[in-house]
A and B are shown apart, each in its own frame.
Chain A
């Protein structure tokens, strides 16, 4: 963010700085097509009415629950989870004492799961509509809510205006991508988005989600949702390798990345593998000026849910030491999904209270600049 934007952010949040005890870095609101239709241009309103939205390309991979959600997250009037702003605030913020939440609109899924199955102009319209719906019904209704920006990231020409539009607004924090993009995310195709993100001090955030054009693994489809869900780190390994080897952090030295729901305890050993590969293959990538593990240390943050559950007491803390400390971990609930982590059950009880406090709020406050000063 620019200094002026930081000041605006500081003013907006200064009054409750002291109260930011729990910051939820991954909660979902969810617009249905009927919510988005009023925001669409005539042309795409007609398209939506005439053809409707296609089913996800991955519908064959049976989820754990309808909409992968908790049964009690449907609002009393029957709205799908994350759809009713009042119930969302009551059921997540009030019920769990969450002081601030970052919304990752599941509208992203409306482009990512259908992959190449719809016109990209329609995708761009849907993403614009989703952002406006989030602004009107969530951000304007409750100043505890912040949001990620949805955009048609596979076509940066269409995505850029949307990122530019919200980029200067302190309530919009990051550009949202699914784990599985069409190309590895370090590809130059996506650099225009990174450039705008860096200019606006926006982060780039990755959330589970899919792209119809690629397989879940490098060896094809799994049979079970279990594999999809356990396997999230797999796509992230490819994205880490891509961001680093393509030199994204040399070109955009202030770019920050947040991985959501992908775990963190695999990242240090994976960075060693990258370091060792770099030692032997550095002639291939002379554009890298630092070791991969150094880029990882400086550019990547991770949300907590689903939190690592080691087998024995003490292993969590040991894993944290290998990871490099707790300052890059951010509490997240993943509301309203079935594997929701409420704030009082998100971390091991044995954890040092100072570390827990950092994960529950302080790291996020620093990263996103909620206090106005940033990291």
Chain B
């Protein structure tokens, strides 16, 4: 524990409960998850160099450039060479204490979705989840967990959800937006059936490994291009989940849209509604304007804000048409806290209170 509490990053912005909807954790090394892994997969990981000491397992995924200023905020990069976000004491000192967090939803991404070997992927996902439960969730009662899944095998995904979904501190499944298929497609029914069975939130998050390029027009050249363009993926996933009738099939399902922005949503909701008027006979199970399904079933983290001019942000917030769609998040250790002050400056009081704790407390709380 830190002896001197640093000043709250929220000083002057917010005094009240804080729930953090998106916090990342990582094993300090792949050996840290070995106690939760069978011998054969330990040999796999050792021999093939899983992780290579970088926090997001870049030996198997290229989702985040390890040294990018967005990937890890400079003052959250440990100066002793350890991977960022790999230590509970560090998380406590860097985030939970300064923000006064009452509850944080943690995810260990670790590039598991990039593994193509079906048995290795399932074993690694289980090991990461068991490690998270034992060494984080059970060590700090403020933490709730998000299950990482073997993303290329929906049956194995459902099995992992059933294996751990009953744990009282597991509150979410982690679904990277670059999936092999759009999540609304019937291929994934076992996954959402399992999530609904255990009352887990479905967290759509940046990252993943599809069977094609990350854009509809091929591979981008620049990381900035790919990163900013991810809005397309969030948009397509939300649209697929709505169009396929997943929300009619599982009316209790809730989705958290994490690290995807939200200011782009109003015009997209109008478009979803307008085209539904013209084309709904193709998707007759969508019995309400899609915008009302977005408002009921989707919640959005505000890290990053992707802030614009305050008066224009205020219009976008108003056009969301609901005061309970946003959730505060740090997205630790990513450098995604910028713009929060500008955002808070334009939020109505009720929206602010919902954003800082109520919406996420309702979604993830006990």
Instruction: Flag whether B167 is at the interface (Cβ < 8 A).
Output: no
**A239 contacts across to B, CB distance below 8 A:** 217
Which residue of chain A has its CB nearest to the CB of B269? A311
Complex formed: what's the CA distance from A272 to B315 in Å? 14
Residue in contact with B319 in the complex, picked from A233, A283, A315, CB distance below 8 Å: A315
**A339 contacts across to B, CB distance below 8 A:** 278
Q: Would A226 and B222 count as touching, CB distance under 8 A? A: no
Q: Would B275 and A306 count as touching, CB distance under 8 A? A: yes
Most buried by A among B68, B224, B268: B224
Segment among A23-31, A145-153, A183-191 that sits at the interface with chain B: A183-191
Q: In the complex, how many residues of chain A place their beta carbon closer than 8 angstroms to a beta carbon of chain B?
A: 74
**B271 contacts across to A, CB distance below 8 A:** 230, 233, 263, 306, 308
With A273-B306, A322-B312, A322-B315 known to touch, is A217 a contact of B222 (CB < 8 Å)? no
> How many A-B residue contacts, CB cutoff 8 Å?
256
Instruction: Flag whether A5 is at the interface (Cβ < 8 A).
Output: no
Instruction: Flag whether B162 is at the interface (Cβ < 8 A).
Output: no
Instruction: Flag whether B354 is at the interface (Cβ < 8 A).
Output: no
**B198 contacts across to A, CB distance below 8 A:** none
Q: Would B180 and A220 count as touching, CB distance under 8 A? A: yes
Q: Which of B321-353 contact A (CB under 8 A)?
A: 321, 335, 338-339
With A219-B233, A224-B282 known to touch, is A308 a contact of B181 (CB < 8 Å)? no
The 6 closest A-B pairs by CB, nearest first: A265-B267, A272-B308, A217-B236, A238-B215, A234-B232, A273-B306
With A214-B212, A234-B236, A242-B217 known to touch, is A219 a contact of B179 (CB < 8 Å)? yes
**A227 contacts across to B, CB distance below 8 A:** 182, 236, 239-240, 243
Complex formed: what's the CA distance from A185 to B217 in Å? 8
Complex formed: what's the CA distance from A67 to B147 in Å? 45
What band does the interface of chain B fall in when counting residues whose beta carbon is under 8 Å from A? 35 or more
**A242 contacts across to B, CB distance below 8 A:** 217, 220-221, 225
Mask of A313-343 contacts with B, CB within 8 angstroms, 1/0: 0010011011000000000000000110000
Complex formed: what's the CA distance from A318 to B305 in Å? 20
**A211 contacts across to B, CB distance below 8 A:** 217
Which residue of chain A has its CB nearest to the CB of B218? A183
Q: Would A284 and B270 count as touching, CB distance under 8 A? A: no
Complex formed: what's the CA distance from A50 to B333 in Å? 62
Instruction: Flag whether B64 is at the interface (Cβ < 8 A).
Output: no
Query: A residues bordering B, Cβ < 8 Å?
Result: 62, 64, 179-187, 211, 213-227, 229-231, 233-235, 237-239, 241-242, 245-246, 263-266, 268-281, 283-285, 292, 306, 308-311, 315, 318-319, 321-322, 338-339
Q: Would A237 and B229 count as touching, CB distance under 8 A? A: yes
Residue in contact with A268 in the complex, picked from B178, B183, B240, B308, CB distance below 8 Å: B308
Instruction: Flag whether B44 is at the interface (Cβ < 8 A).
Output: no
Instruction: Flag whether B228 is at the interface (Cβ < 8 A).
Output: yes
B165 CB to nearest chain A CB (Å):
24
**B312 contacts across to A, CB distance below 8 A:** 268, 321-322
